[in-house]
Structures are given as structure tokens and as C-alpha cells.
Amino acid sequence: MRLSSGSGRCNNAGVASGADPWFGPLSAWEWVVGVNLWGVIHGMRAFLPILINQGEGHIVNTASTAGLNPGSGPVYAATKHAVVALSEELFKTTKIVDLPVGVSVLCPGWVHTAIMDADRNWPERLGEMPVRAPASEVMRPHFQRAIDDGMGPDAIADLVADAIMTGKFWILPHPEFVAPLAPHRRRRKSRYGGRRAWIPTHRAMDERDSVRTDGADRLGAGSSSARSSR
């Protein structure tokens, strides 16, 4: 697939806070959710109609392996799980109603970025920046070392470009981070409405080229199944 200039949209903004998620101020939650989740929502809602109207396009949402496997902190992980879910739902919708828009979700592990210094972008409207939790201070040098040794952004960009050109949904630069989750994402039955529902599976990790999604019945769009390459 070859897209014209301006046909791709990457929702890539992301921040992380070291504030205590349970006893610290809610402003930390507001900041991270506002950027990591609402940023993606606004990007999808703003550009999806444009891409549909021009008859082609692709949306890439940046989540994280934290969106598949918690462990990076509840605030960050919650937003990244939400981005994965939003992406899966949009992907399913584009197949059911045959929209001319591709969808991918990027779930990287350690990438060499400045996310550990995200506090530099703390918005003044939220008041004083929260202090870091003790546990965050302990883990900070370990996270920083992993990030310093992480994959370069250029390599990630190449994987994203390949996913857009080939129509892949899952972009997993670090499959070893998420491979243990595969059994939990396999095909399973749903009791909703007495019908079976199918969900995308993380078997993308084993380099298979296709994923079957089905759920049209539940969404009132008949009994057709959706297929895509990823």
C-alpha cells in the first residue's frame, strides 16, 4: 500500500510521572491521562474524518508494552492499556464498516527517549509539580539505564513505516516483553448476547501475517467476520 503525503497520523505524545499514585495529588493523574489518553482521543477524532473523506489514510497510536503487561506504574500503565483498547476498537470498526483507513498500535519496550525528564513539560495550570514517590526515586536510575540502552527512535520509525505500508495492526519492537501474554489473548468465547466474540491475538509475536477479528454480530452489523493483515 502506498499512501499519499499527509495520509498518515501518528499519535505519539507520552509522559510519565514519578508522583505517588495513591497518596500524591490528583494533578499527576490529570497530567498523564490528559497527554497519554486524551491526546490520542483528540488526535483520532480530529483526523479520522479527514482521512475518511480523502479516501485513504492510516492512524498509528503509540501505546507501550506497559499497555499489555502492567509493571511500569498504575498511572502510565492505565493510560497505555486504554490506548491499546481504543486502537483495537477502531481497527474493528474500520473492518466492519469498510472504512478506507488503516490502524496500528505501537507497543515498544525500552526506547532511547527523554521520557524520564518528562517533568520538564509540567503545565503551570496544574499548580506545583508533585514530589516523586520514594519507590520512584529508587527505580529511577534503573529505568534510566534501560532507556539509555534502549532501541533508537529511528529503528522504531522504520518499523512503523513498514506497518503502515503492509497494513499490520500490532507493532511490537520488543516481542520478548509480551510473548508470555499470548495464551491470555487467544480466541475465547463471550457470553454477551449468547454469541461468540473474537479478539485480536498477540500471536503477532510469532510473526504470523494475519489476525481474525469477529464481533460484527454483537455490534449489529450482521454476521460477517473481519480480516486484516498485520
pLDDT at 224 over 90: no
Does residue 146 sit within a domain?
yes
Lowest-pLDDT choice from 31-35, 37-41, 104-108, 149-153: 149-153
Where are the strands (E) in the chain, listed by range? 8-11, 58-62, 102-106, 170-171, 210-213, 226-229
How much is the pLDDT for 180?
65
- State the average pLDDT over residues 2-31: 85
Measured CA to CA, the distance from residue 184 to residue 188 in angstroms comes to 9
Does residue 2 sit within a domain?
no
Assigned C-alpha cell, 206 = 510469532
For 89-134, the pLDDT digits (tens) are 999 999 999 999 999 999 998 898 888 888 889 999 999 999 999 9
Total number of domains constituting the chain: 1
Quote the mean pLDDT of the chain: 79
Does residue 208 sit within a domain?
no
Element spanning 211, H or E: strand 210-213
Lowest-pLDDT choice from 15-19, 38-42, 71-75: 71-75
Does residue 186 sit within a domain?
no
Q: Which domain holds residue 115?
A: 8-179
pTM, rounded to two decimals: 0.76
Does residue 136 sit within a domain?
yes
- State the average pLDDT over residues 191-209: 36
- State the average pLDDT over residues 65-79: 90
**CATH for 111:** 3.40.50.720
How much is the pLDDT for 122?
94
How much is the pLDDT for 185?
55
Q: Backbone dihedral region of 191: left (phi > 0), alpha (psi from -120 to 50 degrees) or beta?
A: alpha
Does residue 78 sit within a domain?
yes
pLDDT interval class at 182 (50, 70, 90)? low
How much is the pLDDT for 21?
95
Does residue 223 sit within a domain?
no
Residue 228 DSSP SS3: strand
pLDDT at 199 over 50: no
Lowest-pLDDT choice from 6-15, 37-46, 59-68, 221-230: 221-230
pLDDT at 52 over 90: yes
Does residue 3 sit within a domain?
no
Residue 198 DSSP SS3: strand
How much is the pLDDT for 181?
65
